[in-house]
Amino acid sequence: MPCRGLHAVPAGPPEFPELATVYVICGDKLNAMIDAGVTNSIMDSSFLDKLDLVILTHIHIDHIGLLKEIVNTYKNVKIMVKSGFKKYLTTDDGVKKLNVSAQQTLGDLYYVYGEFEKIDQDRVIEVEGGERIDLGEGKIMELIYTPGHAKHHISVMVNDILFTGDSGGAYFNGYVIPTTPPPLDYENYVRSLKMQISLKPKVVGLAHGGLVSPNVLEEHLNQLLTRNVNVKIDIGGVAGEILRKQVEVNLRGLVNLK
């Protein structure tokens, strides 16, 4: 049966599948996926009869891990990434640099998420932001350049739903968690967040935390402006330890701002 509508799919590691969320939007013309989870993921995309596009909000390894599996499964799928960064997905040198950088930033989490594997350059399309894609059934997807978390960060608007990647914070157990690892471009991060708030989405899809109220963006902006990084969250077990390490990495850029 053809896929229809919006799907939020857990794409984190087996110890904590909800750590990362991949979104699938299906129209009668195209099916699109936003981000691609971690390499060591239990994500189940078997409900998809076809996949046409994967839009990468950015190329940090917890958002691109399953690309190798995806391009092997869906023979016609195209991967969209910010212009200038295709080489980090498709060349030996670029992939090596990406993995080394991830290991240096993430520490032990790098091994929890898994190493990224190179994909064929013919499957990757570079985008600038501003592109509009008709998925069919009235679903119009717009790509929006939102630097700050990373130079290569884009967000995605589908009608009145905004998918922020890591440009709008994370949300677990009622806590908004800044997504501000080093190197953080604070000014652009705040500028991008304010712009996204001005779009007045009805629903926000976070890469870490799922579908939430747009009020989360307002709370996250307040965190950034006040530099309030007192985030205390404990969900227990192995998942809690993974989340604790993730929070520590994400707060590091904001805490170290001068």
Query: Over the Cα atoms of the chain, what is R_g?
Result: 17
Q: What is the pTM (predicted TM-score) of this model?
A: 0.96
Residue-wise pLDDT tens digits, 151-202: 999 999 999 999 999 999 999 999 999 999 999 999 999 999 999 999 999 9
209 pLDDT more than 80: yes
- The pLDDT assigned to 228 comes to 77
The three-point CA angle 68-10-158 to 5° equals 85
Residue-wise pLDDT tens digits, 4-52: 899 999 999 999 999 999 999 999 999 999 999 999 998 999 899 999 9
227 pLDDT more than 70: yes
225 pLDDT more than 80: yes
Q: What b/e string do you get for 66-92 counting C-beta neighbours within 10 Å, with b at 16 or more?
A: bbbbbbeebeebbbbbbeebbbbbbee
230 pLDDT more than 80: no
- Residue 3: count other Cβ atoms within 10 Å of its Cβ: 16
Per-residue pLDDT, averaged over 217-228, amounts to: 93
Per the CB < 8 A criterion, the answer to whether 119 and 89 are in contact is yes
- How far is Cα 54 from Cα 70, in angstroms, rounded to an integer? 9
The confidence band for 255, taking pLDDT boundaries of 50, 70 and 90, is confident
258 pLDDT more than 70: no
Residue-wise pLDDT tens digits, 84-130: 999 999 999 999 999 999 999 999 999 999 999 999 999 999 999 99
- Residue 10: count other Cβ atoms within 10 Å of its Cβ: 17
Phi-psi category of residue 90: left, alpha or beta, with phi > 0 → left and psi -120 to 50 → alpha: alpha
- The pLDDT assigned to 40 comes to 97
| Torsion, Cα of 133, 135, 140, 142 (10° steps) | -40
- The pLDDT assigned to 2 comes to 81
- How far is Cα 231 from Cα 94, in angstroms, rounded to an integer? 34
| Cβ-based burial of 12 (10 A; exposed 0-12, middle 13-18, buried ≥19) | buried
The confidence band for 78, taking pLDDT boundaries of 50, 70 and 90, is very high
Per-residue pLDDT, averaged over 129-149, amounts to: 97
